[in-house]
Structure 1
Amino acid sequence: MDAIIKKFPDSRGDAAVERPTREQAEAAVEVLIRWAGDDPAREGLRETPARVAKSYEELFGGYRMDAGAVLGRTFEEVGGYDDMVLLRDIDFHSHCEHHMVPIIGKAHVAYLPSGRVLGLSKISRVVDIFARRLQTQEKMTVQIAAAIEDVLRPRGVAVVLEAEHLCMAMRGVRTKGSTTVTTSFHGVFADDREERDRVLSTIWRGA
């Protein structure tokens, strides 16, 4: 059994946890179906454990991806451009680490280059990597900003996430339509109020 259990990094990227086999995952889904009060042997649920395990591989694929590797390639030929680069309205889907219920939102990511720039698709991919893990919105915001700062070393990084948490809409207080906003500012965006206001006004102007 131990020989077929793989390991993958946790959300901090500095540890490893044992990954159960597909069969163990499917068995766990069967247990949850029974606990919910249904029969996993009935026709509509027979294939559900396999489908859930397969979907989890996609929904939580971020554990097996390295943000640093995605951001590793940068470009220095920028024609003298040194002003803000902003990618706005990046759709993401994540899951609350407390209830494993979806978080649906948009990310806005900006940075001030210091000689090097990123391919725009790399920014979207980094958002997706951290979204495809069990998350809190606050932690995800910090992770995206830190990954870009660590690799690119820009003059500033700003990350703003807007999201609806279905753990609030579907359970508990059942508040529908409320949006949570989190921010992380590094470098110039943290130190210079005018630069911070500029990036925020640019984001909201297009919202």
Structure 2
Amino acid sequence: MDAILKNFPPRADDQGKDAQRPTKEEVEAAVRTLIRWTGDNPDREGLLETPKRVAKAYREMFAGYDLDPAQELGRTFEEVAGYDDLVLVKDINFHSHCEHHMVPIVGKAHVAYLPDGKVVGLSKIARVVDIFAHRLQTQEAMTAQIAGVIQEVLNPRGVAVMIEAEHMCMAMRGIRKQGSTTLTTTFTGAFKDQPEEQARFMMMLRTGLKD
């Protein structure tokens, strides 16, 4: 698990990241350069405000660097009337950006855990997905990061994460295959060690019901 956690991208304020960020003016100048690289004219009417819009959009789309997913999971509840069975949050829609080409990844995350005396608010699970999604990512790394932080902070008996996503770097460029979906999974604890728990997770994803 330590190997997973050390691969978390740092927050912007870790190690003085904000001080190393370029200025808004530098970002806008870089966007103007990219517009020229496409063959267009950054001074034409339709593109005059584009550098400002792109700079603002990037701060929003990559806001995950400024947020700590572990902090989102910090408040837990122990009054669960003895409940200790599987908790599954399905179909968490997200959008991210591929770290190789900086084009969108669009998909859904399914996250489950087996509580060990405490649970976390369901919205916090979705928030963790969003924080990791709002960073430059690979799908494989994001899947492991979500599972890793939940396991580290909640210390449940096990965590299961599945992500299914379409990568625009496959759809928009290169091989240009639209509609292809990539599936990735990470299992910890009981989900990794007990095949029946892993099978139950998969069954619940398909049916939405426990057997």
TM-score if structure 2 supplies the norm length? 0.91
Match of 2:70 in 1: 68
Structure 2: how far apart are the matches of 1:28 and 1:86? Answer: 43
Secondary structure (helix, strand or coil) at the match of 2:9 reads coil
Match of 2:40 in 1: 38
Q: For 1:6-21, what aligned pairs fall within 5 Å after superposition?
A: 11-13=8-10, 16=15, 17=17, 18-21=20-23
The structural deviation recorded for 1:201 is 1.1
8 Å contact 2:24–2:55 — kept in the other structure? yes
Which string of whole-angstrom CA distances, capped at 9 and with x for unpartnered residues, describes residues 38-97 of structure 1?
A: 110000000000000000011000000000111111111111000000000000000000
Structure 2 residue corresponding to 1:54, chosen from 46, 56, 73: 56
Structure 1 residue corresponding to 2:168, chosen from 166, 169, 175: 166
User: How many residues are aligned here?
Assistant: 197
User: How many percent identity over aligned positions?
Assistant: 65
What runs of 5+ residues in structure 1 fail to find an aligned partner?
1-9
What runs of 5+ residues in structure 2 fail to find an aligned partner?
1-6
Secondary structure (helix, strand or coil) at the match of 1:183 reads strand
Structure 1: how far apart are the matches of 2:168 and 2:206? Answer: 23
Structure 2: how far apart are the matches of 1:11 and 1:147? Answer: 9
What RMSD over aligned residues (CA atoms) do the two structures have, in Å?
1.3
Structure 2: how far apart are the matches of 1:27 and 1:73? Answer: 42
Structure 1 runs of 4+ aligned residues shifted over 4 Å read 14-17
Secondary structure (helix, strand or coil) at the match of 1:69 reads helix
Match of 2:149 in 1: 147
8 Å contact 1:104–1:163 — kept in the other structure? yes
Residues 11 and 47 of structure 1: CA distance in aligned 2, closer, same or farther (over 3 Å): farther
Match of 1:121 in 2: 123
The structural deviation recorded for 1:12 is 2.5
The structural deviation recorded for 1:159 is 0.3
**Greater strand share, structure number:** 1
The structural deviation recorded for 1:129 is 0.1
Q: Give 1:43's aligned amino acid.
A: E
The structural deviation recorded for 1:13 is 2.4
Match of 1:184 in 2: 186
